[in-house]
Structure formats: structure tokens, C-alpha cells
Amino acid sequence: MNLYGKDLICTQEWKIKELEAVLELAAKMKRDRYSPRWTSLLQHRTFLMFFYNPSVRTRQSFETAATELGGHAQFLEPRAMRLKTATTAGETIEDAANVMSRFAHGLGIRILEDQISAYGEGDDLLREYAKWCTIPVISMAHDKFHPCQGLADLMGLHTHLGDVKGKKTLVTWGSGALVRSWCSPQEYMLITSRFGMNVTLAYPEGYDLDPEVIAQVKANCAQNGTSFEIVHDSVSGYDGADVVYSRNWMSPVAYASGELDKASERAKAALHPGWITDAARMKRTNNALFIHPMPVDRGSEVTDEIASGPRSIIYDVAENRLHVQKALMALTMTDAL
Ligand code: CP
């Protein structure tokens, strides 16, 4: 499988076989973490990590991944560069991307929430970098997709469920004031539907996700002969679920004023208290696993009892970020494997 130089902006854009190659290598790297087969793969190679927004897991896991592969990950923020924006003069993406490509062997970008003024701008930015870069561009979470998280989620489900085909996952909106982007639940639904899961999406009226993504999830389910449904109550979706994913997300009008209106979004979310994954709801499931990309908003999206309970796989999935990203970097930043 030759993935050398390939961008990863959304898992949907990769073939199933390519995703499986990443997951298989990640599993080997997890089993045999410091094998000499991997520890020099990125020797003398640098991964640039360009963060418009903060991160715990993504920065730490990419940096650790580069270290474990014998390479280096360099942290960058927009304030450390002089980039042209809608309101400031500066360097174009064409120039920045071409120069980065002369130094490094891979570029990760994160752009979310208050760093954009309309949904889709982050995706456009990544694709503009990918157009000019001669090195692979990997999304480290942007407004539309979070492919590394999706791969880590699926790896966790394979570990705990084996084959996921025909299993039911509930993806439910969660209460809270965090005004979160759509990238993680969208990526999760794309990759789980692609790999054969039945998907139920639950959210209060007014919290629709990207219609193009929903259409693609439906198409994935149709192709696999599985089901996709949307419900607007906080309970029924749990019935018979094998996996429960809860997450707060912003409404489709969050950017209506030309910037992210956090105050309005918080006020709107406050009208929907009680959309929380708790023991009573989990009792309706098929002894479901609880999964979440983290950071978890405990007490709003999920109770402590469930987040820290025996069916929670949140830490396994967080750890998987390291292994899938090592596999991704090894496959896209070198042609050694
Ligand atoms: N899940 C995830 O991307 O976590 P961070 O925001 O901490 O990187």
C-alpha cells in the first residue's frame, strides 16, 4: 500500500483498504511500541504542527509519535508567523506552503471554532495548503473533520467489539456550554458507517449537522445495507445501542453574525438541559461501550459514573491517537514501509 505523500483531510477521501493499512500498522505499533522496525522511520524528518487552536491530546500525541519514530515535531502558531489574512497583509498560503515543503516532511493543521468566521473556512484553508504543499497535509481537527480522531475511535471499537459490522452506534448531542465544532461527531459517523455500523443520531431540533456529511453517512449506510436514523429526543436512541457517543456541538447558525457567537450558542444550549449520558439511559442499551473524543464535559455531556465506568473506553481511544498517528506519519512521510 503506497500512501507516501498522501494528504488526510477526511477519512471518507481514503479507500477502505488504505484506512485498514493504517489501522493494521497502528495495531502492530501498539503491540510492539519500541520495535527497531519503527524507531528510525522518521530519522532526520520533521512534522510541522500548525495550531490555530489549543490542544491537549493532538499536540502531545503527534509530538510523542514523532519522537518514537526517531523524528521531530515542531509546534507552530499563527502569531509566530506573518501570514496574510482577510484583514492583515502578510505571506500567502502559496508561499508558506512551498517553503514549509522545502524544510519538513509533513504538515498538520488545526483550525476550529473562533478561528473561522463561517463553517467551511477551515476546510478551505487546509485544502489551500494541500494544493501548494509538496508534503502531506494532515488535519489535526478542523471545522468539518477530525480524521485522526476517527481512526483512533475505530481502532478502539475494533479492540473492544471485534468486527463492528451490524453493530449500532448512537451519536447524541450533549448539553453544555462549550460550543463545540462539528468535526469529531461528523468524522465518527462517516468512519463507523463506512465500516458497517448502524447509526442513530439524536439531537434537539435546531442542532442539524452538515447536510452534505449526513447525506454521505446515509450513502455509506445504504451501501452497507445498514440503517441511519435521526431522533429528536434524548432517550429513545439508546435502545439496543452497542456504542454510545455523546458530544456537545454548536448549532448551524453559530456563525450567522459573521463570527462565532458563543454567547447566543450558550444561551440556546441552556434551553436543552438533561441531554446527558447517564446510567438510566445506558440501561436501555446492549451493555454499550461509552466513547468520546475528549476533552469530556463531565456533568453535562456524560455523568462521572459512565465516563469513569467499566464500559468507558475514552482513555484507550485517546491512547490510540498516538498509534494511528505514528502509522499515518510512517506511511505518508516516508516510503520505507
Ligand atoms: N480529541 C482531541 O483532539 O483532543 P485535543 O483537543 O485535546 O487535541
The tens digit of pLDDT for each residue in 34-59 reads: 999 999 999 999 999 999 999 999 99
- Nearest-atom number in ligand 1 for the CA of 56 is 7
Q: What value does the mean pLDDT take over residues 149-158?
A: 98
Residue with the nearest Cα to atom 6 of ligand 1?
Answer: 55
High-pLDDT (> 90) share of the chain, %: 97
- Nearest-atom number in ligand 1 for the CA of 61 is 8
Give the model's pLDDT for residue 124: 98
Torsion angle (degrees, nearest 10) of CA 18, 24, 27, 33? -90
Contact residues of ligand 1, CB 6 A cut-off: 55-58, 141, 149, 293-295
Mean pLDDT of all residues in the chain?
A: 97
Question: Could you tell me the pLDDT band of residue 88, with boundaries at 50, 70 and 90?
Answer: confident
Distance 222 CA to ligand 1 centre (A): 31
Distance 127 CA to ligand 1 centre (A): 21
Strands 243-247 and 289-291: parallel
CATH number given to 11-146+321-333:
3.40.50.1370
High-pLDDT (> 70) share of the chain, %: 100
CATH number given to 148-317:
3.40.50.1370
Domain locations in the chain as residue ranges: 11-146+321-333, 148-317
Distance 55 CA to ligand 1 centre (A): 5
Give the model's pLDDT for residue 206: 98
Distance 191 CA to ligand 1 centre (A): 18
Nearest-angstrom CA–CA distance, 213 and 63:
30
Give the model's pLDDT for residue 33: 98
Q: pLDDT tens digits, residue range 280-331?
A: 999 999 999 999 999 999 999 999 999 999 999 999 999 999 999 999 999 9
Question: Could you tell me the pLDDT band of residue 80, with boundaries at 50, 70 and 90?
Answer: confident
The region of weakest confidence among 72-81, 136-145, 150-159 is 72-81
Residue with the nearest Cα to atom 4 of ligand 1?
Answer: 57
Please choose from 50, 51, 56 the residue to mutate so as to test ligand 1's pocket, defined by most ligand atoms within 8 A of CB.
Answer: 56
Distance 142 CA to ligand 1 centre (A): 11
Give the model's pLDDT for residue 1: 83
Please choose from 50, 51, 52, 55 the residue to mutate so as to test ligand 1's pocket, defined by most ligand atoms within 8 A of CB.
Answer: 55
Give the model's pLDDT for residue 12: 98
Same fold, 11-146+321-333 and 148-317: yes
Give the model's pLDDT for residue 81: 87
Tell me the whole-structure pTM to 2 decimals: 0.98
Distance 54 CA to ligand 1 centre (A): 8
Distance 50 CA to ligand 1 centre (A): 14
Q: What own/partner pairs with CB < 8 Å and gap ≥ 24 does 159-166 have?
A: 159/313, 159/316, 160/289, 160/313, 160/316, 161/242, 161/243, 161/289, 163/196, 164/192, 164/195, 164/196, 164/197, 165/195, 165/196, 165/197, 165/224, 166/196, 166/197, 166/198, 166/226
Give the model's pLDDT for residue 214: 98
